[in-house]
Chains A and B, each alone.
Chain A
Amino acid sequence: MAIEVIMPKAGMDMQEGQIIKWYKNEGDYVERGEVLLEIMTDKVNMEVEAETSGYLLKILKNNGETVPVVTPIGYIGEKGEEIPEVKESKETVQDKLEIKEEIEEIKTKEEPEVLEIKDKIRATPAARRMARERNINLFEVKGSGPKGRIQQIDVENYKEGDIKITPLARRIAEVEGIDLENIIGSGFEGKIIKEDVLKLVGKEEKNITEEVMEDGRTRVVPMSNMRKIIAKRMSESYFSAPTFTLNTEVDMTKVIELRRTVKEQILEETKKKITITDIILLATARALKNHPLVNASLSEDGENIIYHDYVDLAMAVGLENGLLTPVIRGADKMTLTEIVVAAKDVTERTINMKLLPDELQGSTFTVSNLGMYGITHFDPIINQPNSAILGVNTIVEKLVPVDGKAKVKPMMTLSLTVDHRVIDGVVGAKFLQDLKSLLENPIKILI
């Protein structure tokens, strides 16, 4: 019997997913565990593997379509096998009307992408065979044949690692006629991503779908999925939580010393460079253990406080076109070395859009650092359902009175925004005080 391929529910609160690209065509054979398609959940791209071996009999939903989770999007089975009729979901008349409206809306909407991305790869059988034998991903091979068809010679000349590029970026580069040699990849291991190409042609993504208004000076740009999610979450947080921000100045002398002391050793052990942020993250995790309210969340009905006996620390990672908050699980139990590795790992994977959806969920507290941009003070918005967020600012050399004398010290402001429904001023202040103390005597966090 033909087996359904569904839009997987890839995360607790994932409602729908967008199909980015099918890697197989109808009629192709797919091995169980082979990558079948790429989807985008509300925040990340992820690959979906085939759950069963067989022929991809039918693709029900095409690239670019967004469908609710567990919706059948295709069928795998034996050649010539009948495909069961797509089951009607149990929906009410009202639902149907709504769906109809939605469809109308979709129909009237302009195509979101200017560049038409064809899912099918043009490659000769010989090229495919060679790619198979050499384990080369044809999506990474540039075709020299008619209409970009990949010929055997292209696969033969392809050297792995030569140019790593996403299929979308390759397609855009082809359309724009850009030599891939001239593109600097900003993705994982220097992989060329769409944005790199668009930058080069002066068509950054925000411009792709823009609509220039009649005055010629105004442009209307549809939000990306990610942007929409951020907008929704931030307004929900901002308009539901009464907040205030507490600021305190920390002497970072010892943190800087500590970093200098352990830097070489950690680099040798892990090949990762320790940053000031890593030390702040660890100190925060430690401090939170002693301030359970700051590490708590409000229940959905707003009537219960949920305490966590662990610290899952989210860190805001700014991207070109948005913001993600990947989570470092069990940060309170980590050593400094471990947190360096964990932080680097999630940061890199965030930038490359390779996070698993669950890694973006379930944090107990969030740290947002704008220090690298020279910010000295800001009021962050809480990453709900957290009840507080810590804003980290830049380190500034300041004249500070020490024993009646003016001394230059590296000073940094910490900004803690709290949800007043859960946290009162004193609770927040005590937490900040503790954190300040840990940072000014960082040896404590190592014990």
Chain B
Amino acid sequence: MSEQMKEMTYKDAVKLAMVEEMRKDENVFLMGEDVGLYGGAFGVSVGMLEEFGEERVRDTPISEAAIAGAAAGAAVTGMRPIAEIMFMDFTTIAMDSLVNQAAKMRYMFGGKAKVPMVLRAPGGSGTGAAAQHSQSLEAWFCHVPGLKVVVPGTAADAKGLLKAAIRDDNPVVFVEQKTLYKVKGSVPIDDEFIIPLGKGEIKKEGEDVTIISYGRMLPRVLKVAEELEEEGISVEVLDPRTLVPLDKELIINSVKKTGRAILVNEACKTGGYLGEIASVISESEAFDYLDAPIIRLAGLDVPIPYNPELESAVVPSEKQIRDAVFKVLNR
């Protein structure tokens, strides 16, 4: 793998992954609302129309059910579509195509089909777009066997994981983070830079406590971890990156090492994926290494409010993360 890196935004890393894969494989194409000339609602695909033309960068009508359904249909017949749903909230409209069709075809058909599609959708709050444009619904998809679910938290991960998702023969829900789109990071420019799905990463090594987080909360957690390091508390930050399949081994080993686990995400707590991670820990041998109850820091169980103060109060804050660390350390 080349050592060459380039600073770029998360958004550009997503684009780079799509562009590289579309150059390599003519079966890969992008479709979605306003992905063409407009370049996507968040500008992720700006410029792609110029390179690949309307044939492979396809604007669709506002028809999410048809977009997801068409992706599944194209995928099962030999294409590798990337479907963009403008906001993760609108995947609700695409649910049948995704959940009842794409996810289950292979199994229902006795292994005689594959559905290599990627459904990209930006999730998360923090933009003031209120209740119908701000949700983090990743747990829903994790609950559907047959779907893989990826939530990159850095630019490099966005690139490596999206390339893996495009090359994967299964439907992959690729959850992008609206508020991370403009965050820059160092990204390998190697066009074979792939991060296998199901491989988490220790973003920061530590000894005292493991914080498992992904997506928008990851940079927040890392910031707190760095601050605590200066105060003599050694925090390990683990990003599973892929929720399904989950890198259980990495999680278990880290928790065995530190004996303490704090789980942080933006999605609502009730029924959320943190509960799944907590259960994985409890059911594993890591349980016997736990020296404090596992803490979940998640979004409040409310729709995302419009008012900015309320909106920011819904999701875990730096202070809450700090407090949780002190709590598990009995300080």
Contacts and interface: CB of A to CB of B under 8 A. Distances in A.
B330 A127 contact: no
Query: Which are the 10 A-B pairs with shortest beta-carbon distances?
Result: A126-B291, A129-B288, A125-B290, A152-B291, A124-B291, A126-B259, A126-B289, A125-B288, A145-B330, A125-B287
A151 B329 CA distance: 10
Contacts of B288: 125-126, 128-129
A125 B330 contact: no
A151 B330 contact: yes
B62 interface: no
Interface in A31-64: none
16 contacts: A124-B259, A124-B291, A126-B259, A126-B291, A127-B291, A128-B288, A129-B288, A129-B289, A144-B330, A145-B330, A146-B330, A151-B291, A151-B292, A152-B259, A152-B291, A153-B291
Interface of A: 124-129, 144-146, 151-153
A125 B259 CA distance: 9
A442 B235 CA distance: 77
Interface residues of B, number: 8
Interface in B236-290: 259, 287-290
A166 B248 CA distance: 41
A127 B260 CA distance: 12
Contacts of B291: 124-127, 151-153
Nearest to B258: A126
A191 to B, nearest CB: 28
Nearest to B256: A126
A144 B259 CA distance: 16
User: Which secondary structure dominates chain B's binding surface?
Assistant: loop
Interface in B144-176: none
Contacts of A126: 259, 288-291
A127 B289 CA distance: 8
Nearest to A128: B288
A144 B288 CA distance: 18
Contacts of A124: 259, 290-292
A125 B291 CA distance: 6
Interface in B110-150: none
Contacts of A129: 288-289
Interface in B282-320: 287-292
A128 B289 CA distance: 9
Interface centre among B288, B290, B291, B330 (most CB of A within 10 A): B291
A126 B255 CA distance: 11
Nearest to A126: B291
B67 to A, nearest CB: 47
Given A151-B291, A153-B291, 7 more contacts: A125-B287, A125-B288, A125-B289, A128-B288, A144-B330, A146-B330, A151-B292
Contacts of A127: 291
Nearest to A150: B291
Contacts of A145: 292, 330
Contacts of B290: 124-126
Nearest to A127: B291
B250 to A, nearest CB: 19
B156 to A, nearest CB: 34
Contacts of A125: 287-291
A125 B294 CA distance: 11
B200 to A, nearest CB: 22
Nearest to A146: B330
Contacts of A128: 288
A102 to B, nearest CB: 41
A124 B289 CA distance: 8
A309 B71 CA distance: 100
Contacts of B287: 125
Contacts of B292: 124, 145, 151
A146 B330 CA distance: 7
A219 to B, nearest CB: 41
B237 to A, nearest CB: 20
A129 B289 CA distance: 7
B18 to A, nearest CB: 45
Interface string B6-30: 0000000000000000000000000
A128 B259 CA distance: 12
Contacts of B289: 125-126, 129
A151 B289 CA distance: 11
A139 B291 CA distance: 17
A302 to B, nearest CB: 63
Contacts of B330: 144-146, 151
Contacts of A146: 330
A115 B261 CA distance: 34
A314 B70 CA distance: 95
Nearest to B287: A125
A151 B293 CA distance: 11
A126 B294 CA distance: 12
Contacts of A153: 291
A287 B259 CA distance: 68
A125 B281 CA distance: 12
A144 B287 CA distance: 20
